[in-house]
Structure 1
Amino acid sequence: MSIGRMDLNLLKVFDAVYEERNLVLAGKRLNLTQSAVSHALGRLRELVGDELFMRTGKGMVPTGRAAAMAPALRDALRRIETTLGVEPFAPAESTRRFVIAANDHLTSVIIAPLSRELQHVAPGVELVIRPSTRLDLAEQIDLGRIDLAIGIFAQVPDRLNSRTLMSQGEAILMRRGHPASRRKLTLRDMAKYPLVTVSVGGQEEGAVGGFILERGLARQSEMFDRQALEEALQAEQEAPHARVTVPHSLAIPELLRDTDMLSIVPASLAVALVKDRDLLRRQPPYQSGTSTIRAVWHRRDEHDAAHVWLLDMVAKTAHAAEESLG
């Protein structure tokens, strides 16, 4: 196929359909009718000699050829836009759509205040939050379907960039009126009272040592320092009693209500959950580790002005959350 026959606008259609998996949504993104998108896709299919997308009950599913083409084509589009300045980024005027991967804890602590700030500085910018717990997170970043992933990563491959956002320790949550609420928590309390813990992936998802490794990206699966707790209790010849393990941290308040359970959570989550709730926050009675939250993105976006702006906004919001920990 000769590049001379190629209308580069067809690549923008491919990009939109690949991202949205829906012709109507792709058309809205490009300000085109569904008919125009279908026509453009037909021209591209003829040039490439492949169906590219198959219509199914779940939307437009890319063929193997489309999946193989997508990373390089989408990377090329971003580079062309950056080089030519086709889409100069002005936050106040932009209608850019950013896809961020984050768990419910970080959505509450970082994304929510970020969204409120964007109402003032970039009212047209759209945020789409995907779960960072999905097993194909690294693949989604590679394919360009996720612009930024926020979380705790033990290992980041060379093809990805990362930036430290904030550091935090752990806290213990309990209901008001809990038997241990009027005194300092002890290790005996941690063994006596059942625990609510958060785990977004176990051994069945490939988690080892509290982290899931996929395509060179190792991300946290357990939201507490299990080793520190177990070692501290072992020294006292005690053992923790984990009664409930949940994948969603925002379920913790309901689980603690009317029970004597304790919950070990990241410090920033504890600060968020005790606001306007019937919960108390306490320091762990043992030395737990400090976790570092980072943003991770693909190197192809490092010169994208819009992406750089988003990263700076996320970092600013995370810094404010870290300062609130006191």
Structure 2
Amino acid sequence: MIDKLEIHHLRILDALYKFGKLSAAAERLGVSQQAISLQLKKLRVLLHDPLFVRTGHGMAATPYAKVIEPHIHQVLAGISAIPLPDALAPDRIERTLAICATDYTQQVIVGPLIRDLRSAAPKVKIIVSGIEVHHLTQKMQQGEIDLTFTSDGYVPVGLVSEPLFVEQYRCVAADAAMLAGGVMALDRLVGYDFIITSPGIGSFKGSADAWFERQGLRRNVVMSAPSFFMALDYLKQSTMIGFIPTRLLPCDGLFDIPLEKYPPGYEVVAAYHPSANNDPFLRWLLGRVRLLLPA
């Protein structure tokens, strides 16, 4: 039944992924809530799955809906990237693009994007700034920042976010002796001192702490670094251990410590102000970003 899917079906799924509510999805697409509900019923029949189920906070994606989510986004991104005759000529566009990004997304996303833009849109000037924690929505509304690349948890209320990929963690340290014994058990792991990364505002509470608590364990965080790159440098000069995104590894001077299990990864997203949703250059740009992402 996949061949019976239409573009408007994909846009409805995309809106439900983003907002998790029929009313918000209807508002985004400019249709009635009843129309969204009717199309969702048709999609459930076509795909033989409930897709979204009601919860106390809206609509939650089913396991199958989560599996197909990146495929839906990829198809829509490909459609958005299709140029229309004389509608968009990137090589002739003259504008300034202001990007706000974490150190990690600057290396993984912004670096390859800049290299691509120098060829595809050479008249576009680019400003890259570190991640904004405060007033990001206001700055985007005022046009000071066009686009931000960050993790899903750092997107303020009022911005539109589009998932790009899910990043996973690895555990690294400078002490090769930690490799002795093969795969390290978690109860042994928490005996070491940890460094965490907390951009913007320093904190000794990291994203993995709740995961450790669910294992019945508590780790000892002794340092908070402002970026993953500084965390890598501090790890090289100490006996601490830390969780680092896989796309920043391997790293000279650090060893990958195999664990029996790892904390869940995080979703990397592109976010922008709703007023920029119909910006043809921005839509083209996000299409290029997805094409440039590493596998």
Which TM-score applies when normalising by structure 1? 0.57
Comparing 259-268 and 101-110, the one that deviates more: 259-268
1:156 CA drift (Å): 6.3
Q: Which residue does 1:193 correspond to in 2?
A: 192
CA distance in 1 between counterparts of 2:89 and 2:257 reads: 44
Q: Write the deviation string for residues 194-224 of structure 1: whole angstroms up to 9, x where unpaired.
A: 11110125599xx9xx7xxxxxxxxxxx5x4
Evaluate the alpha carbon distance shift between residue 171 and residue 142 of structure 1 in structure 2; reply closer, same or farther with a 3 A threshold. Answer: same
Evaluate the alpha carbon distance shift between residue 168 and residue 203 of structure 1 in structure 2; reply closer, same or farther with a 3 A threshold. Answer: closer
CA distance in 1 between counterparts of 2:243 and 2:154 reads: 24
Note the 1:1-326 alignment, pairs <5 A.
89-154=88-153, 159-175=158-174, 177-182=175-180, 183-202=182-201, 222=206, 224-234=207-217, 239-269=218-248, 271=249, 274-275=250-251, 277-318=252-293, 320=294, 323=295
Consecutive unaligned residues in structure 2, runs of 5 or more: 1-85
Contact 1:170 1:284 in 2 (8 A): no
Contact 1:133 1:200 in 2 (8 A): no
Contact 2:152 2:266 in 1 (8 A): no
Q: Amino acid of the residue matched to residue 179 of structure 2?
A: S
Contact 1:200 1:248 in 2 (8 A): yes
Evaluate the alpha carbon distance shift between residue 290 and residue 139 of structure 1 in structure 2; reply closer, same or farther with a 3 A threshold. Answer: same
Evaluate the alpha carbon distance shift between residue 317 and residue 230 of structure 1 in structure 2; reply closer, same or farther with a 3 A threshold. Answer: farther
Q: Match of 1:134, SS?
A: coil
Comparing 299-308 and 181-190, the one that deviates more: 181-190
1:148 CA drift (Å): 0.9
Q: Amino acid of the residue matched to residue 257 of structure 1?
A: K
Q: Write the deviation string for residues 119-165 of structure 1: whole angstroms up to 9, x where unpaired.
A: 32222322211222431112212222111111122486785322111
Evaluate the alpha carbon distance shift between residue 282 and residue 95 of structure 1 in structure 2; reply closer, same or farther with a 3 A threshold. Answer: farther
Name the larger-Rg structure.
Answer: 1
1:296 CA drift (Å): 1.1
Number of equivalences = 209
1:250 CA drift (Å): 0.7
Contact 2:197 2:224 in 1 (8 A): yes
Q: Write the deviation string for residues 181-200 of structure 1: whole angstroms up to 9, x where unpaired.
A: 24222213422221111012
Evaluate the alpha carbon distance shift between residue 93 and residue 287 of structure 1 in structure 2; reply closer, same or farther with a 3 A threshold. Answer: same
CA distance in 1 between counterparts of 2:213 and 2:157 reads: 34
CA distance in 1 between counterparts of 2:258 and 2:177 reads: 16
1:262 CA drift (Å): 0.7
Report the identity percentage: 21
CA distance in 2 between counterparts of 1:99 and 1:292 reads: 22
Runs of 4+ with >6 A deviation: 155-158
Evaluate the alpha carbon distance shift between residue 131 and residue 188 of structure 1 in structure 2; reply closer, same or farther with a 3 A threshold. Answer: same
Q: Amino acid of the residue matched to residue 244 of structure 1?
A: M
CA distance in 2 between counterparts of 1:138 and 1:131 reads: 15
1:113 CA drift (Å): 1.5
Evaluate the alpha carbon distance shift between residue 285 and residue 109 of structure 1 in structure 2; reply closer, same or farther with a 3 A threshold. Answer: same
Consecutive unaligned residues in structure 1, runs of 5 or more: 1-86, 211-221
CA distance in 1 between counterparts of 2:208 and 2:120 reads: 38
CA distance in 1 between counterparts of 2:150 and 2:258 reads: 22
Contact 2:178 2:257 in 1 (8 A): no
Contact 2:147 2:271 in 1 (8 A): yes
CA distance in 2 between counterparts of 1:305 and 1:102 reads: 21
CA RMSD of aligned residues (A): 2.8
Q: Amino acid of the residue matched to residue 266 of structure 1?
A: P
